[in-house]
Structure 1
């Protein structure tokens, strides 16, 4: 029989996530991880595998625990509410507990060097999945008449991701939550009009 683990795996994973969230993958040493989890290196290896495996498990936990707002936002029936709820959720997580946390995925991607390219590619792949979900939701909004048929959904999805990543960087650098919310409000204020709104606009009289 194997030895029974003498630590709470779930709590250790949460502690490891906090380290990676703050420092990124490359900036987090095993000493940081053992100190935060209270688990010696052999125990971490036994429970999670190497540092890369631990990081990926921590990211899975981040998605499951802190990214639930994404699915909730995409399920909103109106596209403006989708956008509003998404940015509200993102900003709440990025400033959780009043701390300058930023986005764990963005933090990790920005802190990767050539030596950790596989990790960066994993983070990019996760962001691509989110962008794909956005494109699908925007295409639905076009079909339902909430966005004009000429809307470039691929570019608009990229724009949303770029704004969110920018919010994450700003949050990590300590920009106040109120300012982040103002940025999100500006995005909503400049959001494309619905097809009905476009058709309702007064037309110029011919000369």
Structure 2
């Protein structure tokens, strides 16, 4: 994405300048705090400092804006999930992911918890296209993690009888649970204790 200000046409035909990246960050924090369904267009335009015609011109509708926000979230605040897969051992992968959730969920600069988890929980209808997209993202993350643990088994880093699929679900379950705890007021110390306890169950 370009960091240059973008021009769109406002309601009265006057060009309006705003920074696309800054507007996306502001929208991301609204969705992060309120969830997809809990966020209105008025919430978005107020936070982004633009009017509805400008929002539609730059980002399309609310659904397409949310998809752009998810991409920005994946490449920004939650990029640690991808980076963790590069750790040299399976345990280090799991540990970095868990600590990443704690860091993100308790960072005072961000809404508590996780945008992805909050967005999923706010979409109750299984047929909702946003919920389906979020579910697909979760499945993709689980697959990447399972493949990393399969690699660890082939390298002798994990015991041969380890279940890579179960380990991937275990890590994601801990992470999602900690995100919910963070969103409901759990402290950093409490979440780090969860990480410590979870890692005690890691295969020797």
Separation in structure 2 between the aligned mates of residue 177 and residue 94 of structure 1, nearest angstrom: 8
Compare the two structures and name the one with the higher strand fraction: 2
TM-score, scaled relative to structure 2: 0.89
Deviation at residue 99 of structure 1 after TM alignment: 5.7
| CA RMSD, 1 decimal | 1.8
Shift >2 Å, 4+ stretches? 2-5, 113-116
Counterpart Cα distance in 1 of 2:179 and 2:187: 12
Q: Which has the higher helix share?
A: 1
> Where do 1:141-180 residues align within 5 Å?
141-180=152-191
Indicate the structure (1 or 2) with the bigger Cα radius of gyration: 1
Structure 1 partner of 2:133: 122
- Paired residues in the alignment total 193
CA positional deviation for 1:110: 0.2
Mapped pair 1:50 → 2:61:
yes
Contact 1:100/1:171 (8 A) holds in 2: no
Does the CA-based 8 Å contact 1:147-1:192 persist in structure 2?
yes
**Structure 1 unaligned blocks of 5 or more:** 194-207
Structure 2: stretches of 5+ with no match in the other structure: 1-7, 10-14
- 2:76 is paired with a residue of what secondary structure? helix
Distance of 2:111 and 2:161 partners within structure 1:
39
Partners of 1:20 and 1:50 in 2: how far apart? 14
2:126 and 2:132 in contact (8 A); partners too:
no
- Which residue of structure 2 lines up, in the alignment, with residue 62 of structure 1? 73
Pairing 1:133–2:144 present: yes
Q: Matches of 1:46 and 1:83 in 2, distance apart? A: 41
